[in-house]
Amino acid sequence: MEHHIWHNIQVDTTCIEVKGEFRPEDVAPTFEVLDKNFVGKDYYRLLIDLSASNGRLSKESREALQDHLKAKLNSRIAFVITRPTSRMLAKVVVAVSGGSADKGFFRSQDEAWEWLKGAQSDELQSKL
């Protein structure tokens, strides 16, 4: 797997920078990292950067993503999209997530991080 996955503790968000194609064999290791980062939580907070993807997602990959994304009820996903093929890929991910995620589409990681930080701030305010 050549994708880069890391967790931003300050925003409690995992960033997945997709390089090339996201293949079926990439799904399990990716979600192992996500599950570790969000253990005991009923949500995922993700930044998925598709700017270096090739815009392809096989049927097998979609099915595997669907199974994993539906497991978390309240997900917030920010997509970084720089090409039309990346936008199509993001729409597929949104569709397989079962509509349970709050989604945003951005042209840069900076814009996506700001949106995610704003959501975190809103969540903290609602708990007060």
Is residue 24 a contact partner of residue 58, using CB atoms and an 8 Å limit? Answer: yes
Indicate the pLDDT class of residue 80, thresholds 50, 70 and 90.
Answer: very high
Return the amino acid letter for 52: A
In whole numbers, what is the pLDDT of the chain averaged over residues?
Answer: 81
Beta-carbon neighbour count of residue 56 at 10 Å?
A: 13
Strands 4-8 and 75-80, how do they pair?
A: unpaired
Q: Which is more confidently placed, 65 or 13?
A: 13
Distance between CA atoms of residues 85 and 67, nearest Å: 23
What is the per-residue pLDDT for 124? 44
Question: For the chain, how many structural domains are there in total?
Answer: 1
pLDDT in tens, 91-100: 777 776 665 5
Domain that holds residue 23: 4-127
pLDDT in tens, 40-62: 887 778 899 988 988 888 888 88
Return the CATH number at 21: 3.30.750.24
- Percent of the chain residues topping a pLDDT of 90: 25
Run of H or E residues at 12 = none
